[in-house]
Amino acid sequence: MMKDLLRTDILATFVNVARSQSFSAAARLQGMAASSITRQIDSLEQMLEVKLFLRSTRGLSLTDAGEILFSRAQDIINNLVDIQAELAALDGEPQGVLRVACLPTFGRHHIIPMLEELFIRYPKIQVELDQTERLTDPVRDRLDAVIRVGELKDSSLYSKWIATQTWVVCA
């Protein structure tokens, strides 16, 4: 029976040991001594009153209890990372790199003129503008926004009208 609430730092240590299947690799990852990692895992096993790892000369492997905890602990750690990111975003100032792809003419006439105002309003934002004629894939090309002309063929993408581009045929 669990007597105390799990500490997230020890849970993170457990996840690192389980992923690397090594106390020393987890210690290097966390910048700690392997003996400290071992003590944390030992205290976690005592607190939970179960063995989490099978230790052998060939290395470590998770017990059934370890597998259950590993699955749940990863979710907990991922949720904590998400919470931290959400709370950091509450400071109100967007920051980071915004990756955008668009046609060169559209970029020149519509996007580039907007950038100065964007940089003044959000000084911590950097823009990587890929002005290309090729049809980009937002997932494959790791883009935050793709500006295209015409109708979307993939309905899973979000679209919004932002400007009108006129075309003139000259001879």
What are 65-121's pLDDT values in tens digits? Answer: 999 999 999 999 888 888 887 787 777 778 788 899 988 888 888 888 888 888 888
CA distances to 2, 64, 74, 170 from 5, in Å: 7, 21, 17, 74
Domain ranges of the chain: 8-89, 96-146
Q: How sure is the predictor about 166, in pLDDT bands with cuts at 50, 70 and 90?
A: confident
What is the CATH code of the structural domain delimited by 8-89?
1.10.10.10
Averaged confidence pLDDT in the chain:
86
Residue 97 φ then ψ, to 5°: -105, 130
The residues that bridge with 60 in the sheet, in sequence order, are: 55
What are 3-27's pLDDT values in tens digits? Answer: 567 888 999 999 999 999 999 889 9
CA 145 to chain CA centroid, Å, is 17
DSSP class of residue 107 equals I
46 vs 44: CA distance, rounded Å: 5
**Fold of the domain spanning 96-146:** D-Maltodextrin-Binding Protein; domain 2 (3.40.190)
* pTM above threshold 0.95: no
pLDDT at site 3:
54
